[in-house]
Amino acid sequence: MAKIKFNINNKDVQLEVKDSLRLLDVLRDCMGLTGTKEGCGIGECGACTVIVNGDAVCSCLVLAGQLHGANVETIENIEQNEVLSKLQQLFLEHGAIQCGFCTPGMLMSAKALLDANPHPAEAEIKEALEGNLCRCTGYIPILNAVKAAGSE
C-alpha cells in the first residue's frame, strides 16, 4: 500500500492505494471519475489519456504510487460552470464524435497540445493525437475541430 497525495482537477486529495493500482484504476474505481476509458491497457489506444503535470499521458501506464505530488486533470474538469470549453464545442460542431469512447482521451490530448501551443500546425496536431485511436470518425473531423480551436 502507498499513501499518495496529489491534485486532481484542482482539488488536493490523499489516498491510500495498493501498489498494483494504475492511475486509470484510481480515477475510475477509487474516485468515480469514469469519464476516462480503458481500451487496451498497453498504451496503444489512448482512450485513457489524462493530463499529468501538463503532459498527456496514458493513465493505464502510470502506477498510482508514482503519482505523489502530481497535478492530474481529467475530462471531468473541462466543462466549467456548465459551460463547454471551445474545444468541446468544436468537437460537436465538426462531428468529431461518433461512439464517443475515444473522445475523452482525444480531448485530453488535444487540450494538452493547445495549452502548450495555442496555434499548432497540422503536423503538430497529428503528432499530439497519434496515440489516440478512433475507429469511427476516420480522424478527419477530429483534426478539423482541433485545427479550428488552434485558429481561434
Partner 1 sequence: MHSIIGKKVTRVDGYEKVTGKAVYGDDIKLHGMLYAANRYTDIPAGKIKKIDLSNAEKMDGVEAIVLFKDIPGKKRIGPIRQDHYILVNDEVFYCGDVIAAVAAKTKETAYAAADAIEIEYEPIEGIFDPAEAVKPDARLIHPEFKSNIVVHYPLRKGDVEKGFGESENLIERVYRTGFHEHAYIEPETVTAAPDSTTKGYKIYGSIQNPFTTRRMVAAFMGLNLNQINILGSTLGGSFGGKDDIINCMACRVALLSKITGKPVKLTYTREESIKESYKRHPYILNYKVGFNNDGKLKSMKIEIIADSGAYSSQSFFVTWRSVVQATGPYEIENVETDIRAVYTNNSYTAAFRGFGSPQIIFAKESLMDEIAAICKISPLEIRQINGFKQGSITASGQKLDEHTVSLGEVIEKAIEKSTYNAKLDEYHKKNETGSRYKYGIGLACSYRGCSLGAEGTDTTSVIVSVQADGSVYVLAGLNENGQGMRTTFCQVAAEVLGIPLEKVAFLEPQTATIPDGGPTVASRATLTGGNAVIDGALKIKNAIFNVIKDELQVSGIDETIWENGMISRIQPLPEINPISFEKAVEKSFKAGVNVSAYGWFKAPDVSWHEETGQGNAYFTYVYGCQVAEIKVDTYTGKIEVLKVTAVHDVGKVINRLGIEGQVYGGVAQGIGYAILEDFNIQNGIIKSENLDEYLIPTIKDIHEIEPVLIENSDKYGPFGAKVIGEPTLELASAAINNAMKFATGKYFYQIPLTLERVFLGKNLVKPSRQSEAVRVTHQKKHTPRVTDIAMVTPSSLKKALIMISEDYKIISGGTDIIIELRKRNETKKLLNIFQLKELKKIKKTKDEIIIGSAVPITQILSHKAIKKNFPILVEACSLIGSKQIRNRATLGGNIVNAAPCADSVPPLILYDARITLQSKNGSREIPAKDFIIENYKTQIKPDEILTSFVIPFPKKKFYHSYYQLGRRNAVNITRISIGAMIALDPEKKIEDCRIVSGSLFDRPKNISEIEELLKGQELKEILINEIEQPLKKIIDDAIGKRWSSEYKNPVFINICKDALHDIFMKLKKKK
18-37 binders of partner 1 (CB under 8 A): 19-22, 28, 33-37
Interface residue with partner 1 among 7, 13, 30, 38 (CB under 8 A) is: 38
d(CA 146, CA 86): 10
| Rounded least distance, CB 151 to partner 1, Å | 18
Sign of CA dihedral 109, 115, 120, 123: negative
| Rounded least distance, CB 34 to partner 1, Å | 4
At 121, which amino acid appears?
A
d(CA 152, CA 143): 15
Torsion of CA 106, 38, 78, 52, to 10 degrees: -90
The verdict on 118 binding partner 1 (CB under 8 A) reads: no
The verdict on 149 binding partner 1 (CB under 8 A) reads: no
Binding to partner 1, residues 55-114 (CB under 8 A): 55-58, 60-63, 65-66, 68-69, 74-76, 78-79, 84, 88, 91-95, 97-104, 107, 109
Helices 103-116 & 86-93, crossing angle to 10 degrees?
130
| Rounded least distance, CB 12 to partner 1, Å | 18
Nearer to partner 1, 7 or 65 (CB): 65
The verdict on 143 binding partner 1 (CB under 8 A) reads: yes
Q: Are 97 and 134 within 8 A, CB to CB?
A: no
140 phi, psi to nearest 5 deg: -60, -45
Nearer to partner 1, 126 or 151 (CB): 126
